[in-house]
Amino acid sequence: MEMKREHAAAFTLIELLVVIVIIAVLMGLAFPVFSSIQNQAKKTQAKNDLTQIVTAVNAFYTEYGKYPSVTADTIYGPAGTAGNNALFDVLRAINVTENPRQITFISPPDAKNPIQPRSGIGTSTGSGQFFDPWGTAYNIEVDGNYDSQITNPYSTNAGSPTLRIGVIAWSYGTDLGSETAATDKNIGKNKDDVISWQ
């Protein structure tokens, strides 16, 4: 009687290495697509936040007949002289002196990470400020002069130096406003920024 040995089918080392290389190539191709989709989602979130901010400031104006906490054209955020927390304290009914009826005009969530806040209100770092999905506080400019004119922060590449609107808001986007002539050949174009008025 002759016994036959059965060989189990198995990967050889070469076949295993080929499979690993194929998986690595596919992951390399998928990463930029995933990164692009993730960045687009952040831009959509930022645009939604900006719309809510402008709507909240305009609702405050409708309710009280004035803009919150301003007596002159004012920019809140990194582009201005004060953080945006003063504005959001009023809009969130924390500052009852400016908002005596205690109306909540906007209620963004707290940022999940208090040390590096993104997409919400900073609770530790930048306490009370509203941060965009990239971790930079939103900029808001309010027409405190009540002359229906705001200086366009992008006038060098967007045409008119003056906008005929009461409130604008913007986010610096992916580069966090760090573009310089040495690092960005498109300096001044701010093509990654998210803005409320266009």
- Boundaries of every domain in the chain: 40-195
pTM, to two decimals: 0.78
Residues of the chain with pLDDT under 50: 179-188
Give the DSSP per-residue string, 122-150.
-SSTTTTPEE-TTS-BPEEEE-TT-SS-E
State the pLDDT at residue 188: 44
Phi and psi, residue 37, nearest 5°: -65, -40
Helices (H) and strands (E) in the chain, counts: 3, 8
- pLDDT tens, position by position, 93-151: 999 999 999 999 999 999 999 888 999 999 886 688 999 999 999 999 999 999 989 98
Checking phi first, is residue 47 left (phi over 0); if not, alpha (psi -120 to 50) or beta?
alpha
> Is the CB of residue 127 less than 8 Å from the CB of residue 68?
no
Give the DSSP per-residue string, 47-63.
HHHHHHHHHHHHHHHHH
State the pLDDT at residue 192: 81
State the pLDDT at residue 100: 95
State the pLDDT at residue 11: 72
26: Cβ contacts below 8 Å, ≥ 6 apart = none
Element (DSSP H or E) covering residue 162 = strand 162-163
Q: How far apart are alpha carbons 7 and 178 in whole angstroms?
A: 62
